[in-house]
Structure 1
Amino acid sequence: MTSGLHDQDLPRGLPGMISNSSAVAAAVAVAAEHGVRAREPVVLNDSFNLRIHLRPAPIVARVPTVTALGRPRPADVLRRELEVVSYLCGLGAPVVPPSDLLPAGPHLRDGVVVSFWTHVEHDPDYAVTPEQAGRALAGLHQALHGFPGRLPYLWPVLEEPLRLLDLLDGQVEADVLERLREAHAGLAERVEGGAVQAVHGDAHPGNLLATSSGLLWNDFEETMAAPAGWDLACLLRTTRLDGQAAVRAYGADPGDPGVRAFLAARGLQGTLWMLVRALRFPSEADTARAALEAWLRDPSGATR
């Protein structure tokens, strides 16, 4: 069996893909309509989403780019994120808040969806310890337990991969694509059931920002109704720290059989997103191929 992206087939752009210039222009225009002048907008991060600091204002605009490929209604995703984070802010939970200098959104301008967040000074080189990550996640789950809103059940696990698999048709070997589809179908059956609550959805330590006020959770785009084991699988899969130690600090057993299905689902989800990301960033094809090869060797999600 061969695998990997066909290098010659990798497009330099995708139909409907939002350019950085269009995203920045839309964010600046919406901000201006609400009295905020961004004289020096700066792209902070361009990966799955585009994050733009609307300098000199302490505002970060977030625009779905790669993520919009797998989400036909990105505005709905941003709306759920804002609802959950606003709830957490009301509790005084340690999260990066939406901006209070203008309506946080989501806004739609010239086909671009954008939300606005408070710019928080943080140390990107700070190494979160396993103990900090585990305790932070336990506190977050306690706060999220009372969220009164409706959230879709395991949507990034059950629904989103189907769209990603369709995008990869013709971009990966046919036999590999079939194996990915079969794995998703099997996991969809395994992850059903169990106690459900609102969870972060992407609870790895890269979404914990080290600030002068302590560690703040960020990026709730994948928030959903799910067993807490999903977020524990996110910790176990990270390469930023000892995931098993972090899960123990959370107060759970990293060897719990109930987490295994989520670990495998997280491994598949991450692999699919890496492959789709390479459609926008052809320079990432080798990294995406390596992720795919790792998954093919061990689809359990236990290794990376």
Structure 2
Amino acid sequence: MPSRSAAVAAAVAVAEEHGVRVAEPEVLHDSFSLRILLRPAPIVARVPTTTALGRPRPADALEREMAVVSFLRAAGAPVVPPSDLLPAGPHVRDGIAVSFWAHVRHDPARVVTPGEAGRMLAELHAALRGFPGELPYLGPVLDEPARLLDLLAGAGPELVGAGELARLREAHAALRERLDGTAGLQAVHGDAHPGNLLATPAGLLWNDFEECMAAPVAWDLAVLLRTTRLDGRAAVRAYGADPGDPALRAFVAARGLQGALWVLARALRFPERAGEARAVLETWLRDPSGMTR
């Protein structure tokens, strides 16, 4: 997992090698990945940081994201595009993966309505049905949590106790069995909550496809159903699905477990967020169904 300074240095070095002058790199966001505005160029570099903990080859996820977004862009779907001012990547510099995206002005205070979120997800899924590439089957749901569980085994009881870790492992094994061989696969966003819809002058644009995968659309619906940013049940209805459909339950539970594990992993990088991570874990322990946030 790269440090912030190393990630910024790698992004700047790759950009400058391709003729982009970077006078003042600005970190826009640093949580699960690092996003850096390469001022004065309208380019945002994305570097996996926390997510690198669960991905042995972070560049592979960036490559899949780039393929899916490039396909959607060519199809006219509303997405934040890769940068056209240099090769968008992904690139690997000193073991650090970097991709480059167009910087789009957006209003973070703009509230996405349930109707907008549901309808836009339905339209996105319709476009993604034509994606011709290969994507891992539920990789971010089944494979990455397994790596995070192994990582958290060495975190210490202050973050995750032995009994708690055992419960997390048991839940993951049970969900793997429930989800094995699921039918109705297609390319999906993977992290389709309204925080990944940017309100821009050109309208709402989908962003952050790092977790794109082959899955039933029920996975993205479970993500939307669990969001705290809006009424998830209303958004799923606007999509055209039943939020009470029993077929969603396993995916809602899997999303709840996935989210808890990533928040715990983030606390390894940001120890000051351990209290928040413990609160998320305790919520999951009380209700592993994923319905409680």
TM-score (structure 1 length as normaliser): 0.94
| Residue number in structure 1 paired with 2:179 | 191
Cα displacement (A) at 1:19: 1.2
Looking at structure 1, the residues matched to 221 and 199 of structure 2 have their Cα atoms a distance apart, in angstroms, of 20
Looking at structure 2, the residues matched to 234 and 26 of structure 1 have their Cα atoms a distance apart, in angstroms, of 32
**Correspondence 1:191-210 to 2 at 5 A:** 191-192=179-180, 193-210=182-199
Residue 288 of structure 1 aligns with an amino acid whose one-letter code is A
Structure 1 residue 269 and structure 2 residue 253: aligned? no
Looking at structure 2, the residues matched to 155 and 108 of structure 1 have their Cα atoms a distance apart, in angstroms, of 22
Structure 1 residue 178 and structure 2 residue 162: aligned? no
Cα displacement (A) at 1:155: 0.4
**Correspondence 1:123-272 to 2 at 5 A:** 123-171=107-155, 172-192=160-180, 193-272=182-261
Looking at structure 1, the residues matched to 179 and 122 of structure 2 have their Cα atoms a distance apart, in angstroms, of 21
Residue 96 of structure 2 aligns with an amino acid whose one-letter code is V
CA offsets 1:45-85 (integer angstroms, 9 cap, x no match): 00000000001101000000000010001011100000000
| Residue number in structure 1 paired with 2:63 | 79
**Correspondence 1:29-40 to 2 at 5 A:** 29-40=13-24
Residue 205 of structure 1 aligns with an amino acid whose one-letter code is P
Looking at structure 2, the residues matched to 25 and 175 of structure 1 have their Cα atoms a distance apart, in angstroms, of 41
Matched residue SS, 1:150: coil
Looking at structure 1, the residues matched to 184 and 5 of structure 2 have their Cα atoms a distance apart, in angstroms, of 44
| Residue number in structure 1 paired with 2:80 | 96
Q: How many residues align?
A: 288
Cα displacement (A) at 1:194: 2.1
Q: CA RMSD in A?
A: 0.6
Matched residue SS, 2:97: strand
TM-score (structure 2 length as normaliser): 0.97
Tell me which of the two structures has the higher relative contact order, counting C-alpha pairs closer than 8 angstroms and 6 or more residues apart: 1
Cα displacement (A) at 1:112: 1.2
Residue 181 of structure 1 aligns with an amino acid whose one-letter code is R
**Correspondence 1:104-123 to 2 at 5 A:** 104-123=88-107
Cα displacement (A) at 1:191: 1.8
Structure 1 residue 51 and structure 2 residue 35: aligned? yes
Post-superposition, which runs of at least 4 consecutive aligned residues in structure 1 deviate over 2 A?
A: none
Cα displacement (A) at 1:157: 1.1
Looking at structure 2, the residues matched to 175 and 120 of structure 1 have their Cα atoms a distance apart, in angstroms, of 45
Cα displacement (A) at 1:189: 1.3
Cα displacement (A) at 1:170: 3.4
Cα displacement (A) at 1:217: 0.2
Cα displacement (A) at 1:205: 0.3
Structure 1's unaligned 5+ residue stretches are: 1-16
Structure 2's unaligned 5+ residue stretches are: none
